Amino acid sequence: MTDYIIKSSNLGYDSIADFNSEFLVMAHQFKFDVIIVGSGAAGLATALRLPKSLSIGIIAKASLKEQSSYYAQGGISAVLEKDDSVDLHTRDTLDSGADLGDEAVIRKTVSAGRDTVEWLTELGMPFTRDQQDPNNSGLHLTREGGHSRRRVVHAADATGKALQKTLYAHAVEQDNVKILNRHIVIDLITAEGECQGLYALNLDSQHVDAFRARKVVLATGGASKVYLYTSNPDGSTGDGIAMAWRAGCRVANMEFIQFHPTCLYHPEAKSFLISEAVRGEGGRLLLPDGSRFMQDFDERGELAPRDIVARAIDHEMKRLGTDCVYLDISHKSRAFVKSHFPSIYEKCLQYDIDITKQPIPVVPAAHYTCGGVLVDECGRTDVQNLYAIGETSYTGLHGANRMASNSLLECLVYAQAAADDIGKSIKTGGKLPWVSPWDESKVTDSDEDVVVAHNWDELRRFMWDYVGIVRTDKRLERAQHRCNLLAREIDEYYGNYKVSSDLIELRNLVTVASLIIRSAMARKESRGLHYTLDYPQRDEKYRKATILVPDSKAENRVIPLHNRST
Ligand SMILES: Cc1cc2nc3c(=O)[nH]c(=O)nc-3n(C[C@H](O)[C@H](O)[C@H](O)COP(=O)(O)OP(=O)(O)OC[C@H]3O[C@@H](n4cnc5c(N)ncnc54)[C@H](O)[C@@H]3O)c2cc1C
């Protein structure tokens, strides 16, 4: 969407604002009241919740389909049944989070579940209905791991797709909202402790544009792409976390990365999950020699919880030095497999894997980033006028492990909280400060893109091997050493060459990798998703969030959850 750019306009800011859409200033300079980075569930919902009197720009580097929100299968959690309660949902979330969640935050978030579902229903979200059950709201509810009640609303097995289509359809209808796809934000513009806008590379024109705004909302999703294997789309490179960190925001709990135990392992198959239902229906996990191994790790075998299965697979892969293990459902009848798992059957067949006859190669994959930019109850960060919501943020909801279907709820609830706060605090009267244009006078075109490609691979490989599902002090030290080397090399490269999307993402990935490593090193216990062989037990001393402070002179500080303003 570049049709509204007026090249080399010499009109002043005020006159432009008068005659044209409020967002255009002059060549490659744009102005909005609010800029939202990201068009996933968090970003789109924020745009819809903001007052219609504000001009809103949504900037996204990829299309609607290339974001985690679109991929979500299970659903959105909400207390809707008569025998359910906010107390129960709060308790389940605290338990899943290994007692590290913030109870007040959890209670506030889950209390908003019913209103959130009603809002989506009003927007036309096609939730799967269940008219037979007088106990609930007419919506079909499923039960997922960790939930003690049926409380997950869904749209068949493609909730994210339906959600994104619903939100997007409304966003494009609004005159005050402009959606700019294929723009990758490079960095935030800050001065005197406040955010004044951002720079973004237009992926079509290859020009870096400056965007000025009164408020900026980061809704950039997670950072799972920092690992070799991930269930996430390519854009989950932690850009928002890295940008906020560079701008001076604290980040929290980055050591807690959720791994899904079984993602299809095939060079051409990206991000395809093999549902836990396959194990639920009798699927067996096998080593390359055909032997089973789950019984050695947990008496529930293949039915053990997600993190235990992921850890067992990781252990066996590291022990044997293999690239994957196998999940076999071929002992069931062909008719059973095809009727229970039609999409898995079809998808695997595309790669010449007939799951009715042969086992499926699988690996665990990074799935969800529990930590992120530290925010308050309205999504406000440490930098004035800068908000972070959705997977990119750390609100205190998930603690040390995310309970299934709580994340979309968090996106939607914090979208409203941030929008309300912006609506109350924004002052639209005065001029916005001038920002200098992006300066490329001292950089040249890269003549060695192989450096970027190589470092991408190296980073994701060592993060997988050393900072993955099972950690040790030694592995973390190795990773930190490599991370520091890469960071220096990437910094130098960034300083000398023109930016590209791969370089921008790599620069962010190395920052996020470093934050994960530092956080993991600071937690000398095993809790939730952080498991280390050197400290295999929980330790009450560490029942607090790991908060990193962006000050090169400061040591990593571990600040108790209830003392965030320190
Ligand atoms: C396979 C899968 C299944 C899941 N199932 C569920 C489920 O059933 N229930 C549930 O609650 N959760 C589920 N999750 C998790 C949930 O989908 C995500 O946590 C949630 O969708 C995150 O939404 P978001 O808006 O924060 O980020 P995303 O949806 O990832 O959107 C991020 C946006 O930011 C943009 N962006 C990022 N960086 C930049 C940049 N530098 N410049 C410009 N734009 C940028 C991207 O293009 C994108 O538009 C699942 C996740 C996956 C991967």
Indicate the range of 238-247, 313-322, 532-541 predicted with least confidence: 313-322
The closest-lying atom of ligand 1 relative to the alpha carbon of residue 390 is 26
Whether 199 is in the pocket of ligand 1, judged by its Cβ within 6 Å, is no
Q: Which of 306, 311, 482, 507 is catalytic?
A: 306
Contact 72/233 with Cβ under 8 angstroms?
A: no
In the predicted structure, residue 503 carries a pLDDT above the cut 70: yes
pTM of the predicted protein model: 0.91
* pLDDT tens-place string over residues 179-229: 999 999 999 999 989 999 999 999 999 999 999 999 999 999 999 999 999
Tell how far the Cα of 263 is from the centroid of ligand 1, in angstroms: 17
For ligand 1, pick from 44, 201, 220, 387 the residue to mutate: most ligand atoms within 8 Å of CB.
220
Q: Using DSSP bridges, classify how beta strands 141-142 and 76-77 pair: parallel, antiparallel or unpaired.
A: unpaired
Tell how far the Cα of 498 is from the centroid of ligand 1, in angstroms: 28
What is residue 136's predicted lDDT score, i.e. its pLDDT? 61
In the predicted structure, residue 49 carries a pLDDT above the cut 90: yes
Atom 14, ligand 1: which residue's CA is nearest? 72
- 557: confidence class by pLDDT, cuts 50, 70, 90: very low
For ligand 1, pick from 67, 245, 401 the residue to mutate: most ligand atoms within 8 Å of CB.
67
* pLDDT tens-place string over residues 63-117: 988 999 999 888 999 999 999 999 999 999 999 999 999 999 999 999 999 999 9
Residues of the chain above pLDDT 90, percent: 77
Whether 38 is in the pocket of ligand 1, judged by its Cβ within 6 Å, is yes
Torsion over CA of 238, 242, 243 and 249, rounded to 10 degrees? 120
For ligand 1, pick from 208, 394, 408 the residue to mutate: most ligand atoms within 8 Å of CB.
408
**Is 306 one of the annotated active-site residues of the chain?**
yes
In the predicted structure, residue 453 carries a pLDDT above the cut 70: yes
What is residue 353's predicted lDDT score, i.e. its pLDDT? 97
Distance between CA 410 and CA 370 in Å, rounded? 11
Write the burial class of residue 203 (CB in 10 Å: 0-12 exposed, 13-18 middle, 19+ buried): middle
Whether 275 is in the pocket of ligand 1, judged by its Cβ within 6 Å, is no
The closest-lying atom of ligand 1 relative to the alpha carbon of residue 409 is 11
Atom 17, ligand 1: which residue's CA is nearest? 69
What is residue 364's predicted lDDT score, i.e. its pLDDT? 95
Tell how far the Cα of 332 is from the centroid of ligand 1, in angstroms: 35
Whether 164 is in the pocket of ligand 1, judged by its Cβ within 6 Å, is no
Whether 59 is in the pocket of ligand 1, judged by its Cβ within 6 Å, is yes
